[in-house]
Amino acid sequence: MSSDLHYSNLEAPILDASRDGNKKFGRGSDMLGFWPVVFTVTNGMIGPVILVVPYSFFLIGIHGWALYIFAFIIFWFTGHLLYKAQVSKPGEPYESYPSIAEGLLGKFGRAVIGLSITIELLGLCSAFVVIVGDNLVKVQPLQYIGIELSKYVWIIVFACVVLPSVLMQNYSILAEMSKLGVLVCFSIPLIVLMSAWLYPVHNYYRPEEVAIEGPSFDWNNLPLALGIVGVAYSTHAVFPSIVSRMRNVDEFPGALKISFMVVTLFYIVAGFGFYIYGKATDPQITFNLGPSAQTIISYAIILVILLKFALMLNPVVLELEEICRSREDLRAYFCTSEKDKRPIRALRISLVAFCVFLALMVPYIALIHSVVGVFWSTFVCAVIPCALCLQLRGNSTAENIFGILILVLGTVVMFVGLFQNIVQISKCYDGSNEFENMCN
């Protein structure tokens, strides 16, 4: 991917970072300190995926917490390797993930990283669309005037509603408002636990419906669960942009460790939803709650995604617009000149339509998260950081050994997990999937 782009908020600086001379490493009044970095990294990981975390426990069994401890170690280690690769450049460190890949793996490495992050973000945006469709079907906001729509129709309605925000040129207001989404996502596990305490689960489920059955750790479902875990920890693409805005880059490893510890503890608490609802655990845990709590949270989640969708899609939009402006053959179709910085509406509408198409083809929230996580998130957040660090000199023997192990293991997980997800999706279409609620 081509030139470095500037993003005005930390939701978006993924494909590339700023080249503004006033914002070099460790300079400027808007540089981030230690605790703002901890908050930013934590905020990047905690998102609507929190709804699906209890379902990963359902897939694995009562020892699902062990998977998150393992993931904490792996993804924290690869985050440290990515940081090490970033600061390996003599003088001023690399400013973005693609620039690190180009510096250590060449232009091909940059293109692969740019394409991988683009696909990952499009997949996550499609997951957002599926979540909204599921929640709108549950609450049916038009039922009071006698209209009830299907999930597929609600997905298209959401696309029409969110499209104006994608066509905006300045996302600063959305960026500020979307911070409310952090509070909503953090509150979901607490609401689940409080709801189970105030309204005991046996009031609306029979004991046999919420029984915990099966092995304590189901290895057969490991690839599916790993996909959800991959999305839960997939923030590595934004790490270099965060480091580029730190006052003291040497503080990043400590901030990274604290962020991962907080997030892992939070995910384990969220996983308690499985211990409450057992085999009745829904792919979106809030659908297990009583009607009143479910309705309130559903509307809150819809609002969060309405505010966050354009921000999630923004890095892809800006990068593709830059490519269109830089190539004469594309410029003739999309914009008048290379200096024309207005939003390319046809491109943005096409990206929203593509996300809707993916959501309609795979309208299963657990599976779409699992596909994105097990392949693209694993590739971007585990495999590539190891490949980058192995290009460096001066690594310890342990770093090289663990780097090779994670690289090999991650590659195996990518392809085995992708195959298992494709099999599960095909079973959803022919009605033979053993997990009935996975295909709702």
- How many whole angstroms separate alpha carbon 426 and alpha carbon 422? 6
What does the pLDDT read at residue 214?
75
Question: In angstroms, what CA-CA distances link 231 with 101, 202, 418?
Answer: 21, 32, 14
- Regions of the chain with pLDDT less than 70: 1-30, 169-172, 174-179, 327-343, 432-438, 440
Of 165, 125, 172, 167, residue with least CA distance to 344: 167
Question: CB count, 10 Å around CB of 164?
Answer: 9
What does the pLDDT read at residue 336?
56
> Tens of pLDDT along 40-65?
888 888 888 888 999 999 989 888 89
The amino acid sitting at 251 is E
What does the pLDDT read at residue 433?
66
- How many whole angstroms separate alpha carbon 116 and alpha carbon 237? 10
What does the pLDDT read at residue 325?
73
Of 307, 308, 288, 287, residue with least CA distance to 298: 287
Report CA torsion sign: 408, 410, 412, 415.
negative
What does the pLDDT read at residue 20?
40
Cβ(11)–Cβ(178) below 8 Å? yes
Within 8 A by CB and 6+ apart from 164, the residues are none
Total-model pTM: 0.84
What does the pLDDT read at residue 133?
92
What does the pLDDT read at residue 41?
87
Report CA dihedral (10, 14, 15, 18) to the nearest 10 degrees.
40
Q: Which two tokens stand for residue 36?
A: 């703002």
